[in-house]
Chains A and B, each alone.
Chain A
Amino acid sequence: DTAVSQTPKYLVTQMGNDKSIKCEQNLGHDTMYWYKQDSKKFLKIMFSYNNKELIINETVPNRFSPKSPDKAHLNLHINSLELGDSAVYFCASSPQPDPAYEQYFGPGTRLTVT
């Protein structure tokens, strides 16, 4: 009964490839997020969606494109992968976009670009 799930858990790919990471939450939350955690454990928000609409878009290369087909899913597509994209990507959700609400994190997807 996983609350926030991500697939795949591990992703190893070569530079220049295109890949997608999927995220699903079964908590009935309105808001979902993508975070990137680098090798030094620094966690930075990339995107946030509320009811399928983009509400936070940090300075992220346009090779990264989030897609929210419905409010339970937020996928991340990455074009032309680069070495610097190697990181752990976390999906999260919260009941509403008000930051007072707790964010529930998925287990992460470890992306390795070779």
Chain B
Amino acid sequence: AQSVTQLDSQVPVFEEAPVELRCNYSSSVSVYLFWYVQYPNQGLQLLLKYLSGSTLVKGINGFEAEFNKSQTSFHLRKPSVHISDTAEYFCAVTPQGGYQKVTFGIGTKLQVIP
């Protein structure tokens, strides 16, 4: 079975500052990794995903994440945040192939301070 740990439940950051949201996973098999964002009172939206290949993945809205197999991490970064980035961010993992379920982390609330 796989699991996801998001190490920070809340991350306050000033506008235009950089941010990193941390995610570690556990799995005995090869995995796909995702970051989803949930704006208030909305459903989740995919930010980016890692399937294979380059370990640095770029997503929408200026976000990127780096897959580190040795540290079993998939941290999300943005060099300069905006007020509109205030949202809940979910890291997710799933085993590769077949009819597999996606396991989500508990989420990290990013609070951008003006």
Which of A's residues lie within 8 Å of B, judged by CB? 4, 40-45, 48, 50, 55-56, 58, 90, 92, 97-100, 102-103, 105-108
Contact = CB atoms under 8 A, between A and B. Distances in A.
Interface string B82-114: 000000101000111111111010110000000
B88 A48 contact: no
Interface in B21-65: 32, 38, 41-46, 49, 51
Given A41-B88, A99-B32, A100-B32, A105 B101 contact: no
B99 A55 contact: yes
B43 A99 contact: no
A40 B99 CA distance: 27
Given A90-B44, A102-B49, A106-B43, A44 B104 contact: yes
B43 A105 contact: yes
A43 B43 CA distance: 11
A65 B32 CA distance: 29
Nearest to A4: B43
Given A99-B102, A105-B44, 8 more contacts: A4-B43, A42-B104, A98-B97, A99-B94, A99-B101, A100-B32, A103-B44, A108-B42
A75 B88 CA distance: 26
Contacts of A50: 99
B71 to A, nearest CB: 22
A98 B38 CA distance: 23
Contacts of B49: 100, 102
Contacts of B43: 4, 90, 92, 105-108
A90 B104 CA distance: 13
Contact of B106 (A42, A56, A90, A105): A42
Contacts of B51: 100
A97 B102 CA distance: 11
